[in-house]
Every structure is written in structure tokens, then in C-alpha cells.
Structure 1
């Protein structure tokens, strides 16, 4: 990309009109229907992201563009927006592309660690060598605000040096970021992994959860990933402050969550919930899919998808065969998102490489969603009140699956537990028991019952940070404290010392008093004799 195109993009005058295409993400407030009084230049950086992460950024980019702002996006996927006020720059590095990954191999903790320790430092090493990225970095101060993809993008922190910036927490409320903002999450009830299996966890579960939170945060930021990225960045920008110091200047984070679809926790003003901002009412389906679903009998339809990042073709053959055999024995019709042709597909199974997921989930004849339990899929499931069978693969998916089970929205299986009989039993249980749809319908009503839309909040707070030059008033004083100060360990230490001195003095006084009493007693005894 010739960077003159960016200059021309800035010079264009297109105030935009509000889009009517985004369902829940449609901006409904009157103020949102009008162009902003001033057009801002906003840089969105998501150079390390999955397609689902981009699906969170794009509605906000277009909503800001509708307001007349100029939005430049650094991405790792092909151009997808047709909005005249949105310019996408694809760095085209190969290190994090979906087609190069096998997430079934990366399912273990070691597999995930190996994946990140290889790919993220490589991106830090190479991304500033891409001419378009380096030119964009050199011109970063032309922008009024930078918006980062929170997860996996420490390599891009040099962009925010001496710049106001916010993040979008695409994976939801992250304990590491929340602690950095001054709001450590309580491990007594906020799930880190899959340790907490009920709303009243045991002392041992709470201990494991707390330990997991501390170890994961410390390992990522101070031991494994960030130090490797820091080494690559320092080699290119030796005068920059450390990456974690740059991170602390964060003004605000837009959190992809909502209390209807996650554990309810206290939030700071700088933590704004925008969960399900990408969700929308179901649209009419393509004719062939509509006919397939409508032609199903009273048993209805099962929808099966592992999301946008995990390729179905990477599924181990024993699991693929188990699904095919289970579907063959079930009375339902099945729609399966799979990226290649399959042999031996039963007559009741329809396979497509791409499917309009929300339109399918919103269809009344669909009975259950078999999902990897990625966060966006879970949000769409709740929004459309669709019971779910979660089979998590990696990342935050096991935690999401456990939340589904604890909330009664469906059930979960691990891949190691998959057999034909277990698949049939789980699907039959969920489709035949009305409690799962009742539970998730209640959550859906809560998710939809909001005074403002998630997108209205996202746009308002984005513009708020720009209007107030980084909005330092949002910053919690706790963010400036060390852990010793925050936990008041120094105060506890002083109290312990004072208590020890008081006890020591009291002991000496009591000992002296006792000696004096007994000494007087002995003196009186000798005198009487």
C-alpha cells in the first residue's frame, strides 16, 4: 500500500450516514444518528487476531465511521469493510494465520505455550519491517486515539508511546488487565480456568483458582511471552520505555462481556461492558438452508460449528467418525460447518464451508448448537436463546464451557470423553429437556434488556476519551500502587511491629510487677518471722 493513499483518505470529506445493518449493534440513540461535531482520526491496531476478534472491531469501526470519523485499521485478514471512512491495512505476515494452525495439536497448555512463544516474538521481530506498518508507526501522532486489540498484541505497544489509547478486551474481562487497571478480580468466585465447578467452591478449589491466576499472569508478563517480545522490541526501539510501562497508560478498556453471560463482578469506570455488540436479530436464510431446516420433522435441527479459527479438517479422524456415526443414528437433521468435503456423510447431514450462524441460531426449528464455546459463539447462543453442547478446544473455551454448564444453558464434553454413545446421550438430553432452553431464555432476556446498546456505549466512551485528552479522571489510584501498597502489607507490617512492641512492653511490666509482688511477699514473711 502506498502511504499517499492514507493521506488522501484523511483528506476525503465524507460525514457518513448511520448504518441500518447491525441488529443489536445498530446505534439507536438520536445522538448516534447524527455526525459528530468534529471528525477524529482513529487508529485501530489488531495485527494479531482471529476472525472473531476482527468481528468485534469491525462494527465499532463502522459505527465510528458513520459518525464521520476516519478509521484506519492494521489487520492480519483481507479487507472486509466497504465503508468509505474505513481504511484497512493488512500486514500479511504468516505467523498467526488460521490456515497455518492446528488447534487440536495446541490444545494442551504446553502446546499453547509453544505456539505463543514462537509466533508472538516472531511478529514483534518482523512487523516493523513491513514498510506500511513502519510508515504508520512514524505517523501515529497524526491520530487522535489508538484502539488496541488487548490480547496477544504487546508487540504493537510502541505505537501508544505518548499517545492516548484504549483497548478492546475481545476475550472478555481479563484478570491480568483488570489488576493492571487497579481492579484485581477476586479468585474466590471469578473463574480463571475450570477449577471452580459451582457457585460455592471449596477452599481447595479457591486456592487452586487463586494460584492459577497468579501463575498465569506472572508467567505471561514476566517469565515467558512478554520478555521474549520485549527483547525483539528493544532491539529495534532501544529508547522506548518497557512495554509493560507503556501499557499502564491505558485510559479505558471496552470489555467484550455482560453480566448475563459471565460472572458478575465489580467494575471500574474505565471498564465498560460491550458484550454481544456484534449480535443481531436473525435475517432470512439462503433458500437451500431454509428448505433444509424447514423440511426437518418435529425433531428439528442440530447446528455444529467449531468457529472461525479452528479448521474442521484438523479434527482427529476418530472424533470426526464419532460425530458422523452419532448424527447417522439421531432423528434430527444436522447442519455442520466444515471446511472440506467428507466421505460417508449421512443423508440427514448438510455440510457447508461457511454458514450464517446467527441466522441459523435464530431459527425456531434449530434445537441445539454444538460449539467449541468461543466467546462470540456463546454470546450469540445466549442472544438467540439456543441451548448449547460445549466441546472446548483451547484458550478461554474451557472456562466458557464450564460457565455454560454451571448456568444450566446446556452441558459440556471434553474431547477425550467423546464416544458415539456419549454424543447421542448428550444431544438427546439437551433437546428433550426444556430446562436448558428456559434457563438460556432468561439469560437472553437479561442480555437484551439494556438502557443503551453495547455499541452506543462503545462509541460514546471512545469519543469521551478523545474529548478529554485521554480522560485521566477515569484512572483508579490503585493502578499506581505496588502489590505491597495495594494489599497494605506495609501497614500490616507496621501493625505487627507495634503489636509486638506493646506485647513486649506489657510482658516486661507484668514480669516486673510479679517480681515486685513476690519480693514484697518474701520481705513481709521474713519480717514477721
Structure 2
């Protein structure tokens, strides 16, 4: 829902007041360690609202990351671990998307290298040796098995930055059914056909097995074992998980069953609009009735790494459109028309909240999707890698906009699709119909994140949250042993019945044969 700048500031103050004021004061000032050694800037942006909300309540936060930035809050200390192997600025996502599993295979080289080097950093080992001084550890659930040694014999929480992940949910004992629950990378229109259910089942099993049991985690485990030979296996440490804060909400994704240990905190980073810089406000306000198109590929996929044919298609399409365009692009760009404004950095949420902005062209990242729905701005999704195709399909199926694929991208396709989205009011109405229930919540996502984090601390890891299914093996969970016994019993029963019937048949028909011979 779009609001004016002044109203947005007032609402923002009220929201902060709810986060800080509705919860009772904490029992004590806790020490909280946050770990995201393998993380993109967008993942860090999910952690920051939690860190700031906890810090506002007097807790002391230490954060180790690979994307550290100066923090203004005195209760937050963030440092960069200094291992350079994962640097998103050096990753070309347009090249990565050509690889299997959306580029995830590159992590099979990066993660073992980080695991090998991380604990050789003096500052990291100093933090590791004093880890038990902290009351709880919060860790990014994705790609961060390298930090699991910190979690040994410690209560810990995962922040599920990418939304519901079937692999991670299974760790807590909530095994999602592939008949309707999407896997991490793909989704299909509901209800799923038999073929889609078959493919989805393979995705559920294959992705989990590939990552956890076959390739990725075993490679990391080898490096960790070499340095910590007495440490339990990483996946055994993971089973001690107390709570998952999931970056999603049932109004903006497929509704899934959740356990008490799974708390939805999606859109924590979203906020009401703040006043735009004067140059941007002037540009947007002067757009006329056609309005503005906003174009950004997020923090990882740089516009400057876009293949030339796609870049030229955008330049040509924007030249043919009557709208003004704001394009986040890192570098100089020649040949753009006068209706295009290019900047290296932009206040995305403040732009999306402006009532002159008609559509957001995006790569389909989860945070951008959440911001668009929060501010009710229709979308044109052009997914690049990871879970973005799944997000783009959600946009299309819900009528929140449309999607294109890079291989079929042309100036004509862009002009036609953008014209449809900006002139058809149904997309805005659909966005508003999703945005309203998203905002209609009894408590704020930040408040839930703070409450449940403190809950885990107060109750010493909160073992009462744990589902018994988390302790079962796959054989026990799927009742394969019980089914095997039932099959044996059934086989024996059928065999006994067969022998009885054969004996009765032999007695009856054998007697008849003897009688007929006598006659």
C-alpha cells in the first residue's frame, strides 16, 4: 500500500514503537552471536533487522560475516572474517545460471576452501574459543555448514533467509510433502499433475541427497574433521537446532504446515517510505501520467555483467516506451535515451512506494519480491538463478505481474509486456489484494523474531519446541520397518491360506476323482 513520504515516516515511527514497546522488558542483557560466513548482501539484509531489534532491547550482538559494513549501533559489533573465496562481486550470475542446479555447483569448490582457511584466522579462532560466553547463536541456514563447529553444545537458531526450504524443514522433523510443497529451486502450477509430482519428488530427494550426503557437506566435513578431529559429524550437530526464523509469510507464498519451532518472519526488512532525494523525487514526479518503470537486478547480479544482446534489448525497449525509467546500473552505459535515469545505487523501497512507479523489473530475488508486495508495485520478473524462477512463477500465477526468460528476451517482448502491465489496472488490484493481508498481522515480524530468540535463551535451548520426528531415521519416519513386517505377515498369511485351500481342494476334488474312477 502506497503512502506519502510524511505519512510513511510517521508509520515508521509507529512500527518501531511496536517492535520495542509491545514486548515486556527482557530478563537480562543477553550476548548473541550471529554467523553468516558465506552470505550475499541480500542475506545480510535479513539479519540486520533482527540484530538491530535485539540491540534496541539492550542485547549485545557480535556478527561475523563476509560482507561486513560499519554499524552505527553501539550494541552491535560486526567484523569480516577475511577469507576471500566467496566474493559476490567476483561472481558473474549470468555465467553461473548456465551451470547445473542454478550455479550451486560452484560452491563445491568455494565451501571446502573457506572451511580450510576460516579457522586459521586468529580473530575467528578467538571468537570460536569464547563461543560459550554467548547465550545463543543465530546462523544463516544456507551454505554455512562451515560454521557448524561454533554450534557444538550450544543453543542455536537458524535464520532461513531464502524462505521455506524443504531440506531445512526436514531437519526439524517437518518433512514437506512433494505432492504440493515446492522444492528449493522449482515450483509448478497447482494442483500438480502426476508428472510434476514425480519431478518434484525427485527434486526433493535429489537436492537434499546431493547437498547433504553425497557431495557438498561431505567435502566440508573432510576439511572440518582435519582441524577438529574430536568434533561430532556436522549433520549431527545440526540436529540440535532449537528454532528456525523463516523469511516468508503465508500470504506471499504457498501455505505450508509449520511446527512451533518454525516461525514466519518474512518482510522484516520492509519499511514504510521515507522521503526521496530531491533529484529522484523531481524525476519521478515529473514523469507525467505514464509514470515510471524501475529496473534493478539486485546486489549480486550486476547490470554491467549482462550480456550485450540483453542490454541492447533493454536500451531499445526503453527508447520506445513513453514512461520514464530508473535503471540501477554499475558503470557507464552508452546509447540510452533521454527518458532513462541511470544510478549505481538507489533507495529501492522508497522508489517502490511512490505512486508514480508503475512496474518493477526485477531478477526475482525474494527480498525484492517481498518489497514489491509490501508496497503494492506490480512486477516484471526475469529470473537468473537459484530460487528466482520459482518466485517469478509465483508472480505470474498470482497475477502480480508477468515473467520473461532471458533466452527469449527481445525489445518487442519487453515493450509488449511492460505496456500490458502498466496499462492493465488488474495487476495493481491483484498486488493490493495480496499486500493488504500481508500487512494485517497481530504482531510485527521483528517482534516475533525478538520474542522467540529471547524465548530460546530463557528456556535454555527450548527443548519443548522439538518435534519427535526430528530424532527418527528415514526408515523409522517412513515406517519402512513396519511396512516390511506387515508385508512379511501378509505374505505368510497368504501362503497359509493358499496351503489350507489347496489341502481342502485336494480333499474334495481328490475324493471326487476316486469316486468317478470306481464308477
TM-score computed with the length of structure 2 as normaliser: 0.95
- Gaps of at least 5 residues in structure 2 are 1-8
Q: Is the 8 A contact 1:194 1:402 kept in 2?
A: no
User: Deviation string for 1:380-416 (max 9, x for gaps)?
Assistant: 0110111100011111111111111111111111111
Q: Which residue of 2 aligns with 1:6?
A: none
RMSD, aligned CA: 1.8
- Selected match of 1:210 from 186, 191, 201: 201
Determine helix, strand or coil for the equivalent of 2:119.
helix
Is it true that 1:371 corresponds to 2:357 in the alignment? no
Displacement of 1:26: 2.7
CA distance, structure 1, for counterparts of residue 235 and residue 458 of structure 2: 26
- Selected match of 1:109 from 99, 108, 130: 99
User: Deviation string for 1:79-101 (max 9, x for gaps)?
Assistant: 33211111111112222222211
Q: Which residue of 2 aligns with 1:329?
A: 320
State the number of aligned residues. Answer: 510
- Gaps of at least 5 residues in structure 1 are 1-18
After TM superposition, the structure 1 stretch with the greater mean CA deviation from structure 2, 356-365 or 198-207, is 198-207
Q: Is the 8 A contact 1:53 1:170 kept in 2?
A: yes
Q: Which residue of 2 aligns with 1:491?
A: 482
CA distance, structure 1, for counterparts of residue 69 and residue 381 of structure 2: 31
- Selected match of 1:519 from 485, 510, 517: 510
Displacement of 1:117: 1.4
CA distance, structure 1, for counterparts of residue 433 and residue 10 of structure 2: 27
Q: Is the 8 A contact 1:484 1:490 kept in 2?
A: yes
User: Deviation string for 1:248-268 (max 9, x for gaps)?
Assistant: 110010000001111101001
Q: Equivalent residues in 2 for 1:85-96 (5 A)?
A: 85-96=75-86
User: Deviation string for 1:320-378 (max 9, x for gaps)?
Assistant: 11101100100000001111121112100001111010000000010000000100000
User: Deviation string for 1:91-125 (max 9, x for gaps)?
Assistant: 12222222211111111233714421121111111
Q: Which residue of 2 aligns with 1:152?
A: 143
Displacement of 1:236: 0.8
Determine helix, strand or coil for the equivalent of 1:250.
coil
Displacement of 1:192: 2.1
CA distance, structure 1, for counterparts of residue 14 and residue 176 of structure 2: 29
- Selected match of 1:47 from 6, 17, 37: 37
User: Deviation string for 1:284-340 (max 9, x for gaps)?
Assistant: 111000000000011100000000111111111111111011001000000011111
CA distance, structure 2, for counterparts of residue 202 and residue 519 of structure 1: 54
Determine helix, strand or coil for the equivalent of 2:39.
coil
- Selected match of 1:238 from 229, 236, 257: 229
CA distance, structure 1, for counterparts of residue 61 and residue 397 of structure 2: 40
Mark the CA change 1:493 to 1:24 in structure 2 (over 3 Å): closer, same or farther.
Answer: farther
Q: Which residue of 2 aligns with 1:259?
A: 250
CA distance, structure 2, for counterparts of residue 86 and residue 468 of structure 1: 24
Q: Is the 8 A contact 2:23 2:451 kept in 1?
A: no
After TM superposition, the structure 1 stretch with the greater mean CA deviation from structure 2, 306-315 or 29-38, is 29-38
Q: Is the 8 A contact 1:25 1:454 kept in 2?
A: no
Q: Which residue of 2 aligns with 1:286?
A: 277
Is it true that 1:128 corresponds to 2:119 in the alignment? yes
Q: Equivalent residues in 2 for 1:24-39 (5 A)?
A: 26=16, 28=18, 32=22, 35-39=25-29
Q: Is the 8 A contact 2:304 2:329 kept in 1?
A: yes
Displacement of 1:525: 5.1
CA distance, structure 2, for counterparts of residue 316 and residue 328 of structure 1: 19
Determine helix, strand or coil for the equivalent of 1:197.
coil
Q: Is the 8 A contact 1:385 1:444 kept in 2?
A: yes
Is it true that 1:426 corresponds to 2:437 in the alignment? no
- Selected match of 1:167 from 141, 155, 158: 158
